Structure 1
Amino acid sequence: MRRSFLPTLPTLLLAATFAPVLPAQTESGFKLPSNALAALVDAPLTPTVSLSPDKSTLLLLERSALPPLTELAQPELRLAGLRLNPATNGPSREPYTTGLVLNSLAGGAERRITGLPAGARLNHVSWSRDNRHLAFTVTLETSIELWAADTATATARRLTARPLNLTTETPAWLDAATLIVPFIPADRGAPPPEPRVPAGPVIQENLGGKRPSRTYQDLLANAHDEALFDHYTTSELALVTLDGTVTPLNQRGSFALVAPSPDGRYVLLHTLHRPYSYLVPAGRFPTAITVVDRSGKTVHTLADLPLAESIPIPTGSVRTGPRSVTWRADVPATLSWLEALDGGDAGKPAELRDAWFTLAAPFTQKPVTQHRFALRVAGPVTWGDDQHAIINESWWKTRTVRTWLVAPGTPGSAPTLLFERSSEDRYKNPGSPVLARNQFGRLTLLLSPDRTKIYLDGEGASPEGNQPFLDEFTLATKTTRRLWRSAAPAFESFITFYDATLKRALTSRESVTDAPNYFIRDLTTGHLTPVTSFPNPYPAFASARKDLIQYKRPDGVALSGTLYLPPGYKSTDGPLPTLLWAYPQEFKSADAAGQIKDSPYRFIRVSPLGPLPFLLAGYAVLDDPTMPIIGEGKTEPNDTYVPQLVASAKAAIDELVRRGITDRNRVAVGGHSYGAFMTANLLAHSDLFRAGLARSGAYNRTLTPFGFQSEERTIWQAPEVYAAMSPFNHTDKVKDPLLLLHGEADNNPGTFPIQSERFYNALKGHGATTRLTFLPHESHGYRARENVLHMLWEMEHWLDTYVKPPAKDKKL
């Protein structure tokens, strides 16, 4: 299984200031918000679920509330975009499961998996294809172990005491009784010490040729980093059976991918190797793509990809050579991959962009060219059989998405175009193919018994809000028959068909006040049989009100947002102080920008990281009001970013005031990441808000010169756009109080902590009322309990100080 290459800084709590009242460095120590908000941080989390391959059992994966700061403060190495815990040889700051419970869909008492070590942190939980076992890892203080559970007896046991290496890959089932597992090499010694005196300078050079690169975090910086990368990412692969037998494969390396073939006879390996780079993360390092058999013998080398430092900037640009190399899911052992026909450069005109190849075991023949595509192939192939596979191609510039039906058993045959639409047009999204597990335990296309139809399920976006659906789609005629659709006042989503009759389905159902739970729905009668009974984890919000509101910008663009009112609020209570929490998005179509993207019937999900906690502090909240930045035709959206942003914000406030909900003179705006960037721009370019809350943002676009968000132009191609959009350049215009928060160890490309540090210094230098808080050990998203509580205190205190009191001056 592929590990996500998530690129996390040491301890330093810098609480800056309420300028101009307090000195540059103020009180230290963590603070607590009001009791109502603090209680949300420790609210029990609803378990996540995993369905067994035979659909007989729902596995409940229990989760703890936010971890203590001591977990984030564990040792951490940041190497080539990876963040590793050197004590465990696994990823740092990884969320985990605390308990496993088996829930039979046929009824009966839940069964808890026993035999786990006390305080176990479980990860990478997966079913065996015969449903009889679960495999998972257990993270201890100084190692990670491989465990398994027998689902018949609900008991767990350790398979081997040998420590795993999960820095780049995780265990995967080879067959129903065998896993392929990455271990720490048996002969690995101590980590290489950092030299007290460098052997020489650190040198990078470019001897001609354009090699633009976007901004990345946690890159290798010197020879010692390279040595550490080798030390910690190098694994030895072995087969482990359920009786605990370990059989080495004699394969050693830094494995970015370890993927067994469907029949379990072969393993696809992606192995990273030198020369490394100080400009790009590990995912772009040189990579050998090989196939080995169960004895570890290399039976095929597909490619050895060179270092990819020069992938062009335009969206849709890709690495040259084989990419997206995977196994065909519906046959025993056939490789599938793509190769760019345009040099991987989406900015270059080309009639054909991608070619698709397959190669069957024993891998001795020439690769088969399946098809060539005019656009870039997006996402994996959905496999069915020799006559049925579905593949998508897309193009960012035009937002075009095409869905093709292909016959992989007849290479080169004309594909059938099933759908063509704009990726922005949610109303015309036909849904995604319903999948089912085959004899190999792989998810493949579910076909009707006569193999003439497929099934589609989707969100069902509409002017009334999202209404999930299930359709039957006839391939020959391209016609649809609706089998089911969610209906008010509930919000219900199709998960999978429950049995072979295709007459019953497992669904997830919720309402504004009812937490999501799982049901068996009879698609003929509509009868619902409950499977789970998770309680509402947020009873304090039971009487909160939720409304999906719609309004327009002066230029006619339709806007919407989800309005929440505090528990017990009555219209006679009068206008409220209000928080707008938003995140802008670019569009090429005004019509698409105006589409509704929520449902008025969804459960009120409360995250301590979102804006809804402040309902309990007496604020109205407009969550995710649409802030579309539109550029139709040849016009780029960001050419008019600021005026469109201000117009959308003003339209939202006008609508809230019209409804009698909001006091125009007591409105705050806030956001995270690009939402923080938006917040700073709104305070710099408008007088609409009393205060702003900006978390983990980027404020100076000269620090992201090769593009950001959906902006493909560089700063040298569009200097006026970068200048106009950078709130750092307009610091002198910020007249309303602005709270800045940032994870001290932010790993998100572009949002280096220095962004907030420099912006704060500029604000302070111009006499602005501002405060900067760095949360220790936090990445782009915040996780530690102490930090989240303190973040809520900062935000609540800022709002109560600068927004809640009656305004002295009227806003226009």
Structure 2
Amino acid sequence: MILFIGSVLHAQENLEYQKPVKEILDLVDVPLAPSIRIDEKGEQLIFLYRDGYKTITELSEKEMRLAGLRINPKTNISSRANYFNNIKLKRIDGEPIQVNGLPKNLRLSNLSWSPDQTKVAFTHTTLNGVELWLVDIKTNKATKLTDATLNANMGSPFRWFKDNSALLVKFLSKNKKALINVDEAIPTGPTISVSEGTKAQNRTYQDLLKNPNDEYNFEQLATSEIFKVNLDGTKTSWSTTGMIRNFSFSPDGNYVMVTQIEKPFSYLVPFNRFPQKTTIYKSSGEPFKVVNEVPIDEVRPKGFMAIRIGKRSMSWRADKPATLVWAEALDKGDPEIKVAFRDEVFEQDAPFEGKPKSILKTINRYAGIQWSNNKNIAFAYDYWWNTRNTKTYVFDPNKPSVKPEIIHDRNYQDRYNDPGNFVTSINEFDRSVIDITKGNVYLMGDGFSKEGQFPFIDKLNLKNNTSERVYKSTYTNKVESINGAINLSKGEFLVRVESPSEYPNYYIRNINGKDNLKQITNFANPFAALEGVHKEVIKYKREDGLELSGTLYLPIGYDKTKKEKLPMILWAYPEEFKDKKSASQSTSNPNEFTYPWWGSMVYWVTRGYVVLDDASFPIVGEGDEEPNDSFRKQLVANAKAAIDAVDNLGLIDRNRVAVGGHSYGAFMTANLLSHSNLFAAGIARSGAYNRTLTPFGFQSEERSYWEAPEVYYTMSPFMHADKMKTPLLLIHGKADNNSGTYPLQSERYFNALKGLGATARLIMLPKESHGYRAKESILHLLWEQDQWLEKYVKNKKKPISEGTN
């Protein structure tokens, strides 16, 4: 017994947060360039500044996890909200100017331009709640409009009135009752769930309601009442109280569509699948008409393309004053039912009476409509996951009897043939619509190709569906990203330009003439220590001939002529494909700025490592074969091809190669270490390792465990823990909210590895979710990874032999 106790004590480390070595630390704690917002005319910029990380103190604030939401019950906003801490304004030709009158310790979110773009509204989160603030662009002054009683628990709590005179704002209910402290509450009975023979095959959602106390707390936090708030801060009650999920004005501003959550609640699905009712109100606040009622959505047919029956995706038609648009399934929401058309789209004009008008049927599942500046032309999208197919329709919503024209019919994973996104403009209703000029539309594309990345702008003639390239980026040592049109008639576009050592900055590009690039920001490179890092995209082939690629980084000053063999870190994330052509395409660009974010391995070039980042790890299943039917075999083949490629360049000691990944990349890592002898060590962050704990599908696997038990067993590293002979560092956030990657996954996997005598270390980061946020956590994460790599990779001497287990 004494020996047993001693072994338990030595299995734990009481370790405080650590910091990595100086080379890494100097790249982590740097000031960030601001995010920007630009007005429609391209004249006014808003600079939004933020800290790179939260603190562990911030993450330790009270948090309630209810129905898929994470709420700070004291401030009544998401406990995981991102905040900006300063605002500056900048005219295109001027310098940034500090906004006056901002609150101290600013925590800004939910920023929104007024319709006339003379003002911006935003929320500021104080220690006790959420306030509404306003910035006047002309006077450069910020003003507080409300006290800290907004309800921001379900998204942005305000909308602008069309005439710019006021905002519609969600406040906490004046009848809100005190919350129940679930940890201290005395149970009044058991929690009971019932199955009455109807299949309810849902994913393994986290943060669901678990008992009546959770239901009570959710209702208190979700309940709001809406007020009209004038720009002088006066407010008047606008509507009755309810669990308001979202609300939006009609384009003409005369109506407001309000969707609120109803009872009964569910313990199986998150709040967005609770019962809900959608009501149209007049802009004055008077209830006008109930337009949709949706029952609880716990039961759906099997498959990723399954959806509920009834009206869904209800929105306003952007090119008409007040017209509702929605879709309904023609296959009962069941992808197994064979039909000519999956969905039908309807519209209904105000006053929303009479029979709705059918305007379109889609072959695949409806994915949305973009309206245009021509009321007789609209563009619709559909998609089908199983075939990776998407279609773009051009149709006349006023003549549904006329057959729509399909202008794009393609594999959405085929990036080399992606036609791009339509150029939009703002119409008379202040809505974004596709800009049609003389029968032509314009599309902006990323421009990935076998030869590299060359972003483009195409002009598409709608009459004959012919395309003309009117602009193509010619950079070979930089990357130009096309963000959007500033003035299409003048050929002015907002673009961003960067290089490996040149921080991304914004420019106005005129595609009609020469000397046409006007710089509008001048952000300095905060990562100067990486400017000398060698970076290139290498391409290589898998043993079956599939073309792969990865971004290769070499340490500063590395001399290839000396042929020094360095340790390497391979970082990747598997992706499933239904065809080899798409799987072989490369979307890596060596000319992108080298940006070391918290999860990056690029830091380790400062420690003498070669890094192969974003290595291709396609898992392909063509025809009737599903990708996961040969998951392990393809995984090992991808890894071997990557190591061979870098080894053939004479850069690495293949005895000292580490592999790592986050989430599904962690799952990949554990599988590679279990079923190959290619690596010296591994790093697996926030992964899932036992697929029987996600029995109704995971990632891109839609078959259930009972349909494909061998696939679930074969792919689960937990089931093969006895084969682990390679040191594995496991890291997980204790508050992981991602579907399927419960912290329990890492804890149970580590217990199995320890019980079987494998070399492993488990780091559970307090308060962290699926991605890590606190500066203390991230610095410690980097320290742990560095220690692990130094011990088991850089200083590893014993050779390893290639092969599979």
Give the TM bin, normalised by the shorter chain: over 0.9
Match of 1:773 among 763, 774, 781: 763
Within-5 A mapping of 1:582-621: 582-621=572-611
Question: Letter of the aligned partner of 1:129 in structure 2?
Answer: P
1:467 aligns with 2:457: no
1:807 aligns with 2:797: yes
Q: Greater CA deviation, 372-381 or 669-678? A: 372-381
1:131 aligns with 2:117: yes
Q: C-alpha displacement at 1:677, in angstroms?
A: 0.1
- Would the aligned equivalents of 1:101 and 1:110 in 2 still touch at CA under 8 Å? yes
CA–CA distance in structure 1, aligned partners of residues 181 and 721 of structure 2: 45
Aligned to 1:29: 16
Deviation track 1:669-725 (CA, whole Å, cap 9, x = no partner) reads 000000000000000000000000000000000000000000010000000000000
Give the secondary-structure state (helix, strand or coil) at the position aligned to 1:645: helix
Give the secondary-structure state (helix, strand or coil) at the position aligned to 1:251: coil
1:120 aligns with 2:106: yes
1:188 aligns with 2:193: no
Give the secondary-structure state (helix, strand or coil) at the position aligned to 1:123: strand
Aligned to 1:152: 138
- Would the aligned equivalents of 1:312 and 1:344 in 2 still touch at CA under 8 Å? yes
- Would the aligned equivalents of 1:169 and 1:258 in 2 still touch at CA under 8 Å? no
Aligned to 2:779: 789
1:622 aligns with 2:608: no
- Would the aligned equivalents of 2:202 and 2:268 in 1 still touch at CA under 8 Å? yes
CA–CA distance in structure 1, aligned partners of residues 452 and 301 of structure 2: 38
CA–CA distance in structure 1, aligned partners of residues 203 and 647 of structure 2: 42
Aligned to 1:109: 95
Distance 1:666-1:379 versus aligned 2 partners, 3 A rule? farther
Match of 1:496 among 454, 479, 484: 484
Q: C-alpha displacement at 1:382, in angstroms?
A: 4.1
Aligned to 2:506: 518
CA–CA distance in structure 2, aligned partners of residues 662 and 331 of structure 1: 62
1:304 aligns with 2:290: no
- The higher-RCO structure (CA 8 Å, 6+ apart) is 1
- Would the aligned equivalents of 1:120 and 1:138 in 2 still touch at CA under 8 Å? yes
- Would the aligned equivalents of 2:56 and 2:774 in 1 still touch at CA under 8 Å? yes
Question: Letter of the aligned partner of 2:124 in structure 1?
Answer: V
1:92 aligns with 2:79: yes
1:632 aligns with 2:622: yes
Aligned to 2:730: 740
Q: Greater CA deviation, 427-436 or 742-751? A: 427-436
Deviation track 1:209-238 (CA, whole Å, cap 9, x = no partner) reads 211111000000011100000001100011
Q: C-alpha displacement at 1:500, in angstroms?
A: 4.9
Q: Provide the TM-score with structure 2 as the length reference.
A: 0.96
Q: C-alpha displacement at 1:806, in angstroms?
A: 4.4
Q: C-alpha displacement at 1:496, in angstroms?
A: 2.2
1:505 aligns with 2:493: yes
Q: C-alpha displacement at 1:93, in angstroms?
A: 2.0
1:168 aligns with 2:158: no
Q: C-alpha displacement at 1:352, in angstroms?
A: 1.8
Structure 2 unaligned segments of length 5 or more: list them.
1-5
Deviation track 1:295-332 (CA, whole Å, cap 9, x = no partner) reads 22221211110000012341111121111111111121
Within-5 A mapping of 1:7-86: 23-86=10-73
Deviation track 1:715-742 (CA, whole Å, cap 9, x = no partner) reads 0000000000000011011101000000
Within-5 A mapping of 1:473-484: 473-484=460-471
CA–CA distance in structure 2, aligned partners of residues 463 and 113 of structure 1: 46
CA–CA distance in structure 2, aligned partners of residues 108 and 38 of structure 1: 35
Aligned to 1:16: none
Give the secondary-structure state (helix, strand or coil) at the position aligned to 1:183: strand
Match of 1:335 among 318, 324, 332: 324
Give the secondary-structure state (helix, strand or coil) at the position aligned to 1:496: strand
Q: C-alpha displacement at 1:25, in angstroms?
A: 0.7
Match of 1:242 among 231, 234, 240: 231
Aligned to 1:15: none
CA–CA distance in structure 1, aligned partners of residues 472 and 764 of structure 2: 46
Aligned to 2:547: 558
Aligned to 1:140: 126
CA–CA distance in structure 2, aligned partners of residues 20 and 52 of structure 1: 63
Q: C-alpha displacement at 1:22, in angstroms?
A: 8.8
Q: Greater CA deviation, 114-123 or 742-751? A: 114-123
Q: C-alpha displacement at 1:810, in angstroms?
A: 4.2
Deviation track 1:182-235 (CA, whole Å, cap 9, x = no partner) reads 101123232245574322211111112211111000000011100000001100
Compute the RMSD of aligned alpha carbons: 1.6
CA–CA distance in structure 2, aligned partners of residues 256 and 706 of structure 1: 28
Question: Letter of the aligned partner of 2:73 in structure 1?
Answer: P
Match of 2:419 among 424, 430, 433: 430
Question: Letter of the aligned partner of 2:178 in structure 1?
Answer: A
Match of 1:725 among 715, 719, 732: 715
Question: Letter of the aligned partner of 1:752 in structure 2?
Answer: Y
Question: Letter of the aligned partner of 2:18 in structure 1?
Answer: K
- Would the aligned equivalents of 2:663 and 2:685 in 1 still touch at CA under 8 Å? yes
CA–CA distance in structure 2, aligned partners of residues 574 and 492 of structure 1: 35
- Would the aligned equivalents of 2:689 and 2:717 in 1 still touch at CA under 8 Å? yes
Within-5 A mapping of 1:390-401: 390-401=379-390
Task: Give the paired residue count.
Answer: 791
Aligned to 1:7: none
Q: Greater CA deviation, 776-785 or 306-315? A: 306-315
Q: C-alpha displacement at 1:351, in angstroms?
A: 2.2
Q: C-alpha displacement at 1:288, in angstroms?
A: 0.3
Aligned to 1:6: none
Question: Letter of the aligned partner of 1:185 in structure 2?
Answer: S
- Would the aligned equivalents of 1:467 and 1:599 in 2 still touch at CA under 8 Å? no
Question: Letter of the aligned partner of 1:622 in structure 2?
Answer: L
Deviation track 1:355-387 (CA, whole Å, cap 9, x = no partner) reads 101111121232111111221012443444322
CA–CA distance in structure 1, aligned partners of residues 392 and 519 of structure 2: 36
CA–CA distance in structure 2, aligned partners of residues 446 and 251 of structure 1: 39
Q: C-alpha displacement at 1:72, in angstroms?
A: 0.4
Question: Letter of the aligned partner of 1:684 in structure 2?
Answer: S
Q: C-alpha displacement at 1:62, in angstroms?
A: 0.9
Q: Greater CA deviation, 415-424 or 711-720? A: 415-424
CA–CA distance in structure 2, aligned partners of residues 100 and 439 of structure 1: 29
- Would the aligned equivalents of 1:132 and 1:151 in 2 still touch at CA under 8 Å? yes
Aligned to 2:524: 535
CA–CA distance in structure 2, aligned partners of residues 174 and 348 of structure 1: 44
Q: Greater CA deviation, 487-496 or 272-281? A: 487-496
CA–CA distance in structure 2, aligned partners of residues 604 and 356 of structure 1: 45
Distance 1:70-1:638 versus aligned 2 partners, 3 A rule? same
CA–CA distance in structure 2, aligned partners of residues 212 and 189 of structure 1: 35
- Would the aligned equivalents of 1:41 and 1:66 in 2 still touch at CA under 8 Å? no
Question: Letter of the aligned partner of 2:159 in structure 1?
Answer: A
Deviation track 1:761-803 (CA, whole Å, cap 9, x = no partner) reads 0000111110001000000000000000000011000000000
CA–CA distance in structure 2, aligned partners of residues 26 and 783 of structure 1: 23
- Would the aligned equivalents of 1:386 and 1:410 in 2 still touch at CA under 8 Å? no
CA–CA distance in structure 1, aligned partners of residues 487 and 622 of structure 2: 47
- Would the aligned equivalents of 1:667 and 1:803 in 2 still touch at CA under 8 Å? yes
Deviation track 1:475-521 (CA, whole Å, cap 9, x = no partner) reads 11111111212221221111222325332222111112111101112
CA–CA distance in structure 2, aligned partners of residues 721 and 631 of structure 1: 13
- Would the aligned equivalents of 1:41 and 1:785 in 2 still touch at CA under 8 Å? no
1:325 aligns with 2:314: yes
Q: C-alpha displacement at 1:544, in angstroms?
A: 0.5
